[in-house]
Amino acid sequence: MSRIALIGAGGVIFTQNMIKDILMTDVLKDSEIVLMDIDADRLNNSKIIIEKLSDKIGVKPIVHATTDLHEAVRNADYVITMFRSGNFALQESEQTIPRKYGVDQVVADSMGPGGVFRGLRTLRDLFKVLDTMEIECPGAYLLNYVNPMSMNTIALNRRAKKVKVIGLCHSVPHTAKQLSKYIDVDYKKLDYLVAGVNHQAFFLKFEVDGEDMYPKLREAMNDPEIYKQDKVRFELLRHFGYFPTESSGHGSEYIPYIRKRQDLIDKFCSLEPNAEKDYSMEKGTSGASIKVCAEFQEKNEKQIQGLLAGTEELDISPSDEYAIQIIKAIESNVTLNANLNVINHGLIPTLPPECSVEVPCLVNADGISPQAVADYPEQLAGLNRSMINLHMMGAEGALSCDKKKIFQAIALDPLTAAVCSLDEIQAMTNEMFENFKKEISPDFFK
C-alpha cells in the first residue's frame, strides 16, 4: 500500500482531481492519502469534499489531513507539490516592477525578472519540503507542479541527496490536443515526439498513421482564421521549422523577437476587435495572468461553496493528471510514456548536462527512465540555451543566496536583454529584492 502526500491540498479543485484519479485506480484506491496545507480552513474544505467524493465513487479511503509538514511526508512514497507561494499582490509586483523598466510580461512565472523572483519565493517553500522529505522519507519521489519548472527542477535536484525530484507540466498534451484541432484529426491518432525545455519543447515528430502532419499544419497556418489563434507559435514554426509547446502569449515572453516593441506586441499578441474580454494569456496581452488567476480563483470559490452545500454535482470523470498516472505506472508495472522534466545528463547532447530538459520518459516498476533524444536540431538548441542560461544562473543564485547571481540570471533573460541596459537591469533587480525582502530567504540580506 502506497502513502501519497499532497502538499498544497487546500487548493480544493486540483486536489479533488488528484484524489478521484487515485480512488478510481484499482492499484491505488487502497493507498494512504495525506492532505497538507498551511491554511486549516481550506484544508478542511478539501477533506469534506473528498469524503463526499469517496461516497459517490463507493470507496472508503484512508485520508489524513494536517498542517504539519513533517507529519504529512513521514514515510511517504510519493509527495506531490501543487501550492502557490504568497498572494496575488506579490504576483502582480512581479509584473508591475519590471514593466516600469520596459520588460512587458504576460505570466511571469518561468522566465524574466518575474520568473526569477517567483523562483526565489517558491524555492524557499520547496526547499522546506525537500529537506523535510530527506529526514522523513528519503528515497521517495517528489513530483512537483510548481513553477518556474526548470529553475526549480535544477535547484531541487542539486540540493537533493536521496529524494528523487521530477517536474510535471501539462503543456505537451495540451499542445497536442490543440494541434489536432488545427489539422482536424482525432487527437488519439497523433503519434508525436516532443523534446526541449519546459514551456519551449518542440514537436520533433508529428504524425498520423506514419504520415508526417507538418505539411498539413503548414497549410493550416496559411488559413487566417487558424493563424490568428496562435500567431507567435506559428511564427516560430515558420522561421525555426518546428512547433513549440506553451501558448503564443506565454511563449512570447521567452524570446527576444516580440515583446521588445509595442508595435510587435500589437501585431502578434493583440486581441480581436470583438473579443469578449480585454485580456488573454493565450494571445499574450500584458499582465493577463493577474486577471486570469483572479477570475479562476473566484470561479473556484463559487464551485467549492456549491460542492460543500451539495448544490453542485461532483464530477467523477478521470482527470488523467500526470502525477497519478506516474504513480499508477510504478505501482502496477504498466509502462507509461510521458514528457517529464529531469536533469539533462546528456539526454540532449547539445544542451548543458546540468540543465533541466523536458523529454519522453518511460515509467514502470523500475522507476522513471528518461529517453535520449538524438539529432536535436541546432536551431532549437539555440533557442533553448537562451532560456537555460537564466534557469541555471537563477538556480545557482537561489542555492547560494547570491544577489549578484540573481542579477546575472535576469541580465541573461532574452526579453530583458532586448529592452534594458545593464544599469537598468541592476536597478530593477535591486528594487525587486527590496520589494520581496520578506518573501525570499533572509540569507540574501546577510
**HEC sequence for 7-55:** ECCCCHHHHHHHHHHHHCCCCCCCCEEEEECCCHHHHHHHHHHHHHHHH
Is 199 marked active-site? no
Write down the catalytic residue from 64, 70, 170, 174: 170
SS3 of residue 216 by DSSP: helix
φ, ψ at 179 (rounded to 5°): -60, -40
Residue 160, C-alpha cell as written in the block: 537533493
Distance CA 410, CA 420 (A): 10
What gap in Å lies between CA 237 and CA 202, rounded to an integer? 10
Burial grade of 137 (CB within 10 A; 0-12, 13-18, 19 or more): buried
Which residues, 6 or more positions from 313, have their beta carbon under 8 angstroms from its beta carbon?
none
Rounded to 10 deg, the angle between the 214-221 and 171-182 helix axes is 70
Closest CA to 366 of 399, 334, 324, 389: 334
Residue 213 exposed, middle or buried by CB count within 10 Å (0-12, 13-18, 19+): buried
Asked if the peptide bond before residue 148 counts as cis, ω within 30 degrees of 0, the response is yes
User: Which residues are known to be catalytic?
Assistant: 170
